[in-house]
């Protein structure tokens, strides 16, 4: 799957942005020499890219994250290193934005640089099993709020519809219509459909542009 130099993931909180961002960074590292992942979440102090630091660094991916992520400091601060994503044009960057319009506000700081640069894409992550984005109407509402806050337009949609450990292939298959309706009404392409790696064999040939996800460990 092909990506622009800068890939921005945004969407409703809890839609799976961080997991997807980490997986896409690993994917890019296979073909690109210098890859960074920037966590610019100013909303939620939990479930951060920081949790994957070890595996990212093992793969030679540079992690740009708040020094406070995962600590007791609940402060919406961003490191100056984030400017590398626009200033260093040899760097391939995945940007993990905080949830909803409040999270997207942080992106406004880099809007001008990104617009001037041009080689970027901003992807809206959606999940029809999340209560506040269950149908196309509500997902489009969240999408409009994010675009207004960021001052930037989305360029595509990522369908990450899942119900955690309970996700079955039919859940992903049945969500395709939901994702396509969002795309049709927003006038955007469906960039990819993401699913945990074990489900991919059941989806191949039935859904286009599949992208397998390896999930972070969690408490049982």
Query: Which of residues 127 and 193 has its CB atom nearest to another protein in the complex?
Result: 127
Residue 30 as a binder of another protein (CB under 8 A): the answer is no
Q: Which of 122, 130, 176, 207 binds another protein (CB under 8 A)?
A: 130
Closest distance between another protein and the C-beta of residue 30, in Å? 29
Give the burial string for 66-79 (b: 16+ CB within 10 Å, else e). Answer: bebbbeeeeebebb
CA gap 128, 15 in Å, rounded:
9
> 147: part of which helix (H) or strand (E)?
helix 136-150
Residue 169 as a binder of another protein (CB under 8 A): the answer is no
Query: Which of residues 4 and 196 has its CB atom nearest to another protein in the complex?
Result: 196
Residue 90 as a binder of another protein (CB under 8 A): the answer is no
Residue 219 as a binder of another protein (CB under 8 A): the answer is yes
Please report how the helices 136-150 and 176-186 are oriented relative to each other, as an axis angle in degrees rounded to 10.
50
Q: Which of 26, 62, 121, 163 binds another protein (CB under 8 A)?
A: 163
Query: Which of residues 101 and 190 has its CB atom nearest to another protein in the complex?
Result: 101
CA gap 206, 17 in Å, rounded:
24
Nearest to 11 by CA among 116, 133, 120: 133
Residue 58 as a binder of another protein (CB under 8 A): the answer is no
Give the burial string for 179-205 (b: 16+ CB within 10 Å, else e). Answer: beebbeebebebbbbbbbeebbeebee
Helix (H, G, I), strand (E, B) or coil at 121: strand
The size of the interface with another protein (CB under 8 A), counted in residues, is 28
Residue 94 as a binder of another protein (CB under 8 A): the answer is no
Interface contacts to another protein, rule CB under 8 A: 13-14, 44-47, 72, 74, 127-132, 134-135, 162-166, 171, 174-175, 178, 218-220
């Amino acid at each position: 799957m092909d990506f622009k130099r800068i890939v921005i993931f945004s969407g409703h909180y809890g839609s799976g942005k961080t997991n997807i961002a980490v997986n896409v960074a690993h994917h890019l590292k296979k073909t690109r020499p210098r890859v960074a992942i920037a966590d610019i979440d100013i909303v939620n102090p939990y479930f951060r890219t920081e949790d994957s630091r070890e595996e990212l660094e093992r793969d030679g991916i540079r992690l740009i994250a708040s020094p406070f992520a995962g600590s007791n400091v609940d402060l919406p601060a961003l490191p100056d290193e984030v400017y590398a994503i626009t200033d260093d044009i040899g760097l391939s960057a995945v940007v993990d934005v905080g949830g909803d319009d409040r999270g997207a506000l942080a992106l406004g700081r880099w809007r001008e640089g990104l617009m001037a640069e041009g080689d970027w894409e901003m992807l809206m992550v959606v999940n029809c099993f999340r209560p506040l984005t269950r149908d196309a109407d509500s997902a489009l509402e969240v999408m409009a709020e994010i675009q207004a806050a960021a001052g930037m337009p989305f360029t595509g949609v990522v369908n990450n519809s899942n119900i955690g450990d309970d996700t079955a292939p039919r859940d992903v298959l049945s969500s395709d219509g939901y994702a396509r309706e969002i795309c049709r009404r927003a006038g955007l392409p469906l960039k990819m459909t993401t699913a945990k790696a074990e489900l991919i064999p059941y989806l191949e040939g039935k859904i286009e542009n599949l992208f397998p996800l390896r999930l972070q460990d969690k408490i049982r």
